[in-house]
């Protein structure tokens, strides 16, 4: 069964460092998303991406965050200058079409720890 894969599974970084989280969405999916979850709590939307551009972003997704699809298969989330409060589990997801007709498929997550 096709799945969304994420790397790394866990990354530890120093405050102020740049981090790149990588995702390989399901191959025929068109919509891509990043969510984050702090300490097993609420799952928060960060950004959605379609047709090589951001389609929607939340207030959390400020100038320190960026996304791109560099090679047609990977979908990356970059955090330019990490802060302590960026420590969370980051989930990538993809869907065939808009989420009103289909569910999102999530990866297993990348745990980011900022020291």
Partner 1 sequence: AQSVAQPEDQVNVAEGNPLTVKCTYSVSGNPYLFWYVQYPNRGLQFLLKYITGDNLVKGSYGFEAEFNKSQTSFHLKKPSALVSDSALYFCAVKGGSSYKLIFGSGTRLLVRP
Residues that bind partner 1 (CB under 8 A): 4, 31, 33, 35, 40-45, 48, 50, 55-56, 58, 91, 93, 98-101, 103-109
> By C-beta, is 3 or 18 nearer to partner 1?
3
Count CB-CB contacts under 10 A for residue 81.
12
Spatial contact of 40 and 58, defined as CB atoms under 8 Å apart? no
∠ CA 18-21-22, nearest 5°, is: 140
Q: How far is CA 9 from CA 19, 20, 54, 83, in A?
A: 13, 12, 24, 19
> By C-beta, is 27 or 51 nearer to partner 1?
51
Closest CB 89 distance from partner 1, rounded Å: 9
Q: How many angstroms separate the CA atoms of 94 and 79, rounded? A: 20
> By C-beta, is 15 or 54 nearer to partner 1?
54
> By C-beta, is 1 or 14 nearer to partner 1?
1
Closest CB 11 distance from partner 1, rounded Å: 15
Closest CB 63 distance from partner 1, rounded Å: 20
**Residue 20 structure tokens:** 């790149």
């Amino acid at each position: 069964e096709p799945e969304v894969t994420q790397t790394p599974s866990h990354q530890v970084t120093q405050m102020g460092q740049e981090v790149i989280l990588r995702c390989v969405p399901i191959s025929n999916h068109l919509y891509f998303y990043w969510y984050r979850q702090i300490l097993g709590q609420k799952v928060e939307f960060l950004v959605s991406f379609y047709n090589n551009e951001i389609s929607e972003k939340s207030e959390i997704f400020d100038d320190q965050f960026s996304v791109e699809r560099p090679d047609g298969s990977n979908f990356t989330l970059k955090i330019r200058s990490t802060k302590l409060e960026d420590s969370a589990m980051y989930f990538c997801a993809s869907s065939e079409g808009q989420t009103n007709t289909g569910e999102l498929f999530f990866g297993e997550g990348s745990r980011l720890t900022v020291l």
